Amino acid sequence: MIQPLRTAHRWIFIALAVILTLMFIAAIRAQRAPIPNNPGKRITGSPPQIHETVKVLPALEKQP
């Protein structure tokens, strides 16, 4: 009663090992190269300062 179950599990695990290995290899081979930086993009000016990008709570702002 146990032997047929063991045989079935053995073949299922062998099949899974082969299939998952092939899928892993195929996924690695299908990877694309990362997108390169846009050479035509021009960076002008300086990056924004922290006080320009972060909104401060009104209660925490400096009062004039």
**Residue with the two structure tokens 């993009």:** 41
Q: What is the pLDDT of residues 33-62, one digit of tens each?
A: 776 666 666 666 666 565 555 555 555 556
d(C-alpha 46, C-alpha 51), whole Å: 14
Residue 12 has pLDDT above 70, yes or no: yes
Q: What percent of the chain has pLDDT over 90?
A: 39
pLDDT the model gives residue 51:
58
Q: What's the sign of the alpha-carbon dihedral 13, 18, 21, 22?
A: negative
Instruction: Give the pLDDT mean for 16-40.
Output: 85
Residue 26 has pLDDT above 70, yes or no: yes
Give the count of beta carbons closer than 10 Å to the beta carbon of residue 14. Answer: 10
Per-residue DSSP letter, 1: -
